Amino acid sequence: AQTVTQSQPEMSVQEAETVTLSCTYDTSESNYYLFWYKQPPSRQMILVIRQEAYKQQNATENRFSVNFQKAAKSFSLKISDSQLGDTAMYFCAFMEETSGSRLTFGEGTQLTVNP
């Protein structure tokens, strides 16, 4: 069974600084997709960024970027110039190409951005 592990239950960062959230996963497949979702206190799940395993280039969305290390099965999220609105629970998620589009989520990392 595929698993996703987020080893940092909580993290904090000062406003305007950079923070990196860690995620590792386990799979025997070669084609798969990785995601980071953000869940602010409103409870809404928001897609932050997406990476396809067969693309070597790391995905970037404005202040959010990933460091995808396929051999190490690692998929970390870097948030640059942190803002107060980035305070949220962040979930790493994984989908195998043969899984029928099912997402497997990690346990989550609670990020707090301090003023």
Partner 1 sequence: NAGVTQTPKFRVLKTGQSMTLLCAQDMNHEYMYWYRQDPGMGLRLIHYSVGEGTTAKGEVPDGYNVSRLKKQNFLLGLESAAPSQTSVYFCASSRTGFYGYTFGSGTRLTVV
With CA atoms as reference, report the closest residue to 89 among 74, 107, 65, 64: 107
- Which residue, 77 or 95, is less far from partner 1 as judged by CB? 95
Report the C-alpha gap between 107 and 95 in whole angstroms: 15
Q: Which is nearer to partner 1, 1 or 115 (CB)?
A: 1
- Distances in whole angstroms, Cα of residue 96 to Cα of each of 4, 37, 80: 12, 17, 29
Scored b (16 or more CB within 10 A) or e, 68-95 reads beeeebebbbbbeebeeebbbbbbbbbb
Q: Cβ closer to partner 1: 106 or 113? A: 106
Please give the residue ranges that form the binding site for partner 1 (CB under 8 A).
Answer: 4, 9, 33, 35, 42-45, 47, 50, 52, 91, 95, 97, 99-108
Nearest by Cα to 104 from 24, 16, 22: 24
Q: Which is nearer to partner 1, 58 or 104 (CB)?
A: 104
Least CB distance to partner 1 at residue 58 (A): 17
The least distance separating partner 1 from the CB of residue 59, rounded to whole angstroms, comes to 12
